[in-house]
Copies of this chain bind each other. A is one copy, B any other.
Amino acid sequence: MSRIRVGLDVGGTKIDALALAADGAILARTRIPTGWGDHAVVSAVHDAIEALAGEGGFPVAEVASVGIGIPGLIDADAGRVLHAVNLGVTQLDLADAVRVRLPVPVSVENDVKAAALGAGSLRGDAHSMAYLNLGTGVAAGIVIDGVLWRGAHGTAGEVGHLSVDPRGRVCGCGQRGCIETFCGGGAVSKAWGRGGELPLRDVFDLAERGDAFALELREGVAFGAASAVRSLVLSADVETVVIGGGVTALGDRLLDDIVRRLRQEGAESPFIGSLHLDERIELLPAGSPAAALGAALVGAARLPAELV
């Protein structure tokens, strides 16, 4: 009986793909380039599944379900993607399009929400946690008792667009001083304005050499990330905030900055100090399969119970 559950994390440049066996073991994992535009995205999804099958030594016919994590606004019930600007997709009935060639249950979820579910599953004790994604943009997914918490209209965890400085830079969303303007990779690169392949790393490197603007931006990254953590704890009161996304390629340099900032805030405010925020954050390890794993779990959730 086909019981292989496939999870795909579709990003702007690559698809991270993973196959889960019936017992939850990871059978195969691979990465392939992603496509641009509706047709290319759908093709790349099929290519990724075939590459996975080759990698894991199983026929595609063994795939029981597909879950796809993808940036943008998602209508999960319809399997529809809206405004995935990094993929050239305006509106795409992705689940239906994939099912034309692979007639199994296909589910679509926002990539950050899928990653939250995967990070929670990897931690094994997702009683209450948030996954904070510091990527081009900033957003979080909240997992309570192992279940993704969507909220009334799917905006739960959208802390990137909380304004924390009325005099801050204008955000892509139109507000000023959003958390994303401080610690989103896109906003920081734009503010930095010097180009380069890894502008965030340049900012951190030059800050270490004393460049005043780089120091200001680097402190802003810590302030923004700390503000996101504070917002998640003071509103949803999650036990743990796992931080991932492209910006976390900075590793301990980033984590140390955020921890220092949270400790400083805790020293200034006994109330904030009592929350021990510095002990409640962790970085998702580099290369973690959280996003693709979460997508596989989202896909499997649509399977009949006897297959799960």
Contact = CB atoms under 8 A, between A and B. Distances in A.
Nearest to A276: B153
A128 B151 contact: yes
Interface in A213-231: 223, 227, 230-231
Contacts of A174: 268-272
Interface string A148-161: 00111111111101
Contacts of A162: 162, 230-231, 234-235
Contacts of A156: 235-237
Main secondary structure of the interface of A (DSSP, over half): loop
Contact of A127 (B128, B152, B167, B275): B152
Contacts of A154: 237
A152 B232 CA distance: 11
For A152, A223, A227, A230, the residue with the greatest tally of chain B CB atoms inside 10 Å of its CB is: A152
A234 B275 contact: no
Contacts of A237: 150-158
Given A128-B151, A165-B166, A275-B153, A173 B230 contact: no
A151 B236 contact: yes
Q: Chain A: interface residue count, which band?
A: 35 or more
A163 interface: yes
User: Which 6 pairs between the two chains have the least Cβ-Cβ distance?
Assistant: A151-B237, A174-B269, A235-B235, A152-B239, A156-B237, A173-B271
15 contacts: A151-B233, A152-B237, A153-B239, A154-B237, A155-B234, A155-B237, A158-B237, A162-B230, A163-B227, A164-B165, A164-B166, A166-B223, A173-B271, A174-B270, A175-B271
Interface of A: 127-128, 150-159, 161-167, 171, 173-175, 223, 227, 230-239, 265, 268-272, 275
Given A173-B270, A232-B235, 17 more contacts: A151-B233, A152-B239, A153-B275, A155-B237, A155-B275, A157-B237, A158-B234, A158-B235, A159-B235, A162-B162, A162-B230, A163-B227, A165-B166, A166-B223, A174-B271, A175-B272, A235-B236
